[in-house]
Amino acid sequence: MAPKILDEHSLQAREQEIIDAALALIAREGVANVTMDKVVAKVSYSKGTVYKHFTGKEDLLLAIGNQAITIMLDLFFRASQYPGCARERMLLINFSYLFYAILHPALFMSAMCSKSPNVYEKSTIKRVQEQEHLEMKLMGIFFNLIEEAIADKSFTLPPDMDMQQICFANWSLGYGVISLLADEVESCSGRTGLVVERELFNQNNIFLDGLRWGPLSHEKDYKAGLKEALEQVFGEELARMKALGRELNF
Amino acid sequence: MAPKILDEHSLQAREQEIIDAALALIAREGVANVTMDKVVAKVSYSKGTVYKHFTGKEDLLLAIGNQAITIMLDLFFRASQYPGCARERMLLINFSYLFYAILHPALFMSAMCSKSPNVYEKSTIKRVQEQEHLEMKLMGIFFNLIEEAIADKSFTLPPDMDMQQICFANWSLGYGVISLLADEVESCSGRTGLVVERELFNQNNIFLDGLRWGPLSHEKDYKAGLKEALEQVFGEELARMKALGRELNF
DNA sequence: ACCTGAACACCGTTCAAGT
DNA sequence: ACCTGAACACCGTTCAAGT
């Protein structure tokens, strides 16, 4: 038999098959309970082939993390293109982050787990660099938005903070709220009475009011504006959430 | 030989020895690289005995997480007793959270890893309940502080938020900032120019200003007040940090 | 050139045998 | 009553043998 020469395309398709198999397992059993054996059993290739694509378990996890960022990038970009004021779009981006967490719980968990020195150490340099590149693009969306707001005078930087710090502050807000309420994102238990979309909305207003980013929350009905924007930009995502029995409740 | 009867005290001492051994290993190699074998090798008891105390690896991790909360509880309580205004003390509590993350990186990492369904599922009910109890006490400190502020009129609840939501918002702020900058908490690399103590200070001001919690940041010099309070309440912790070559820099 | 799966080292957990 | 460590099932990774 003539030796096979694999083209880039089929190699990438195979890589995606492995990632998808891992994601399905993660969704069912959680990141910690997934083994390479189980992944191999789910794909049409052998162990050796899987290890040809990923140098190990951590490298696979990082690849999944990168896929997560790619999906977020799409959501964030769409949100940033909405024809509303800058502050409105900032809120919309943060809500798109929530959609990602709700609609892709396995990706969300994987991305969180992949952000650890242990994973980076054991991964390919190539994939670590890919993550850095993707994160730069993500940051770029925020930077552009903040720059626009500064340009149209709805926001001015506080004297002791630069754009990167504002960007980080907004990011850590969404991250804190969504990751801490992530268990409730899936289950409807609601043991404590905290509703993630409500807290995200309120904290966003408090934060942006604190920054004096106009229009302030008492000057504009951001709740109505957000509902409108969600319908328009994330209609498909809302429908998928409704199908999962998870409707936004604020 | 007469059969031994173990008293509660020596049992607890042994449990602590195992926890300490695990923490030392976690500090050196990270949570993911610690094995039960390594822990057993470090203590003066056998595998079977270790498994008498902890039903498994996850149960041990949760025990460490509970110890972490206990230490935080002490720091938070001390901060809450400082004779300053309520807003000042809120800031001080958030900084005590940062101290905990810097001075006890192994505990901090373990506590983060222990907050996962996978860990709870595989742990003793007893230890899960202990964690819930400790977290209630932690919340209590925040609740008391917020109540005081409401009582002395420096703060009024927004119409659409209750105390639990304010409490959670403050918690998620500290969690977001500190956990995202945790790698920089240890290493001095500072690749991006974000300094965790500076971001924590700024975001606290923005958040509390946004809540209209008085005195507002332009009405009072919180930086000077914080420095004073830190010297007074956390002098020992500051000294230990200085010994580690980690001085606060805002 | 590419794929396979047996083989190996290691890890978490148990429990029969000891004192 | 309590402790031990050999034994077992399982997991991550490698690589000699195949096509």
* Digit-coded pLDDT (tens) for B174-227: 999 999 997 755 444 445 789 999 999 999 999 999 999 999 999 999 999 999
In a domain, B248, yes or no: no
- C-alpha B34, offset from chain centre: 21
Whether the beta carbon of B35 falls within 7 A of nucleic chain C: the reply is yes
Q: Using the CA of B58, which nucleotide's C1' is the nearest one?
A: C12
Is residue B196 assigned to a domain? yes
pLDDT single digits (tens) A43-79: 999 999 999 999 999 999 999 999 999 999 999 999 9
Per-residue pLDDT reduced to its tens digit, A151-160 = 999 999 999 9
Residue B200 and residue B115: Cα distance in Å, rounded?
22
Provide the residue range defining the domain that includes B207. 85-104+132-243
Asked if A203 and B172 come within 8 Å (Cβ–Cβ), the reply is: yes
Contact across the interface for A199 and B168, Cβ inside 8 Å: yes
Q: Which residue of A has its CA nearest to B117?
A: A183
The whole-number Å distance from B117's CA to C13's C1' is 21
More confidently predicted of A72 and A248? A72
Query: Which residues have a Cβ under 8 Å from the Cβ of A25 and sit 6 or more positions away?
Result: A34, A38, A39, A42
- Classify residue A198: in a domain, yes or no: yes
The pLDDT tens digits of the residues spanning A103-158 come to 999 999 999 999 999 999 999 999 999 999 999 999 999 999 999 999 999 999 99
**Would residue B50 count as lying in a domain?**
no
Q: Is the CB of A246 under 7 A from strand D?
A: no
Q: Is A174 part of a structural domain of the chain?
A: yes
pLDDT at B3 (0 to 100)? 54
Return the residue in A203, A204, A222 with the most chain B beta carbons within 10 A, the one to mutate for interface testing.
Answer: A203
Write out the residues of chain B at the interface with chain A, using a CB-CB cutoff of 8 A.
30-33, 116-118, 158, 160-161, 164-165, 168-169, 171-177, 179-180, 183, 192-194, 198-199, 202-203, 205-211
| Total domains, chain A | 1
A27 conformational bin, left if phi > 0, alpha if psi -120 to 50, beta if neither: alpha
Q: What is the pLDDT of residue B184?
A: 56
Mean pLDDT of A28-32: 96
Does any domain span residue A140? yes
Q: Are the Cβ atoms of A172 and B173 closer than 8 angstroms?
A: yes
**Phi and psi at residue B223, in whole multiples of 5°?**
-65, -50
Nearest CA in chain A to B172: A176
Q: Is A199 part of a structural domain of the chain?
A: yes
Structural tokens at position A246: 């998870």
Residue B168 with chain A: CB contacts under 8 Å? 180, 194, 199
Compute chain B's Rg from CA coordinates.
20
Three-class SS state of A129: helix
pLDDT higher than 70, residue B27: yes
Residue A250 lies in a domain: no
